[in-house]
Amino acid sequence: TTMSTEQFCSEVKKFEAEKTFSKLKEADVIKCFLAIPGYNDHLLRKRTAKAHLATFINQRYFEDDWSKA
């Protein structure tokens, strides 16, 4: 499974992101995709810059509850 960069809109650190993403278990891949809309909404609300995709995966941002952040 490959992550669509259009989902996250990031070409920065693409190699690192794809390498880390390929090591995720299937359940984490699903969590990753499901977390993106909530993360994007959080960024809009807080007017915060988006983390690089590699950071999003490596620091497991997809496990956070962005609706409460």
**Residue (of 49, 67, 66, 63) closest to 12 by Cα position:** 49
Question: What is the reported pTM?
Answer: 0.79
DSSP at 64: S
* Token pair in block for residue 15: 């190699």
Is the pLDDT assigned to residue 23 strictly greater than 60? yes
Q: Are 20 and 53 in contact (CB under 8 A)?
A: no
CA 37, CA 27: separation in Å to the nearest integer?
17
Mean pLDDT within 54-61: 94
Name which residue leads in pLDDT, 26 or 6. Answer: 26
Place 58 in a pLDDT band, splitting at 50, 70 and 90: very high
CA 55 from chain centre, in angstroms, equals 8
